[in-house]
Structure 1
C-alpha cells in the first residue's frame, strides 16, 4: 500500500477499506498527472471558445499561394467573422492562416484583443499585391494599420512571412473575389 494511502487510512480509519482500491487508483492518477509537464495538456483546455463563437472548422477555406508556398486560409468575409478572426485560437498549423476579405478598398486596422497567439499580418490590394507586413503580439490592443489601402489582410503565425522571404510587392494568388 502506498504511503499516501496508508496515511489516509490511518487518518480516516479502516471504514474506507472497501473503497481503498478505487481511491488508490484515483490517487495514482492524480500523482501521475501532477508529474506531467503543463505542455502535455491539450491546448484546447487552456482556453475555450466562448458561447456563440464560431469554431475554426466552421469558417470557409481558401487555398492561396505565395511564391512556392501553399496557404490553407480560413476566410472571414462577414462582419461577424472578421470581428472574431483568430480570437481564442491557441495554435495554427504550419501554413495555416486567416484571410480577411473586405467590401471596400480602405485602410483596415487590426488589434489582438483575445488573440492568444502572436501573429504576422500582410495587408493586400485587390490585385493580390502585398503592401505592408506587420508583427503583432498576443493579447494587445495596439492598432496595426497599413500605410496603403487594401481589400484583404492575411494573418499567419508570427514570423511566417519573414521566414518564407515574402515581402511587400509580392503577390498572393487564389484570393476570393472581394465585393466592392
Structure 2
C-alpha cells in the first residue's frame, strides 16, 4: 500500500504514515532477552536463513546527498531487515518505518555487514546515529524518541558529514 503511494504526485506520505501503518516492533522494556529480535524487535529468526528478496528502492536525500533505500514498513519486513545480506551498495540503505514515535532498539543478530543507524523523528530530523557491529545481540536504543531508522554501511554518515540534527528529505 505505501510503496504504491510513493509514486503519486503530491502525496505527502510522511504525515500520513502514522495513520496507515500496522503495529510496531521496537525493543521495549521487558522484551529484551535472547528471543528479542534484530532490526526493530520483532520475532528473532525466520528459521530459514534465506535472504529475503530485495524490496523496491526509493530515493531520499540526506544532507543534500541522494540515497536509495528499501522501505521496511510492516512487521515482516522490519523483522528481516538486512539480515543475511553479504553487502550493501554505496548510497543504499534500508528505512524502517514505525506507526508512532518512541524509543526504538535494534540489534545485529544474523546481520553480516557492519552498519550505521540513524534514528529519525516524525519531522525527519536525525536524533541519534550509532555504529553497529555484525552478528551481535547488543541492543542499540535510540537516544530520543524516533519514528524511523535508517541503516547504511558503517561509516557512511561520518564520511558524508551527516550529523544529529540534520534533516532527511522524504
Structures share fold, TM-score greater than 0.5: yes
Q: Which consecutive aligned stretches of 4+ in structure 1 deviate over 4 angstroms post-superposition? A: none
Which residue does 1:121 correspond to in 2? Answer: 117
Which residue does 1:6 correspond to in 2? Answer: none
- When normalised by structure 1's length, the TM-score is 0.66
Counterpart mapping for 1:86-105 below 5 A: 86-105=82-101
Cα distance change of structure 1 residues 146 and 106 upon mapping to structure 2, 3 Å threshold? same
- Partners of 1:158 and 1:61 in 2: CA distance: 19
Structure with the larger RCO, 1 or 2 (CA within 8 Å, 6+ apart): 2
Q: Identify which of 126, 144, 149 aligns with 1:148.
A: 144
Q: Are positions 1:55 and 2:64 aligned together?
A: no
RMSD: 1.5
How far the C-alpha of 1:71 sits from its partner, in A, is 0.9
Q: Identify which of 107, 110, 129 aligns with 1:111.
A: 107
How many residues matched? Answer: 124
Cα distance change of structure 1 residues 53 and 94 upon mapping to structure 2, 3 Å threshold? closer
How far the C-alpha of 1:67 sits from its partner, in A, is 1.9
How far the C-alpha of 1:155 sits from its partner, in A, is 0.1
Query: For 2:105, what is the secondary structure of its paired residue?
Result: coil
- Partners of 1:51 and 1:85 in 2: CA distance: 13
Structure 1 gaps of 5+ residues are 1-48, 175-180
How far the C-alpha of 1:62 sits from its partner, in A, is 1.8
Report the structure, 1 or 2, having the larger helix content: 1
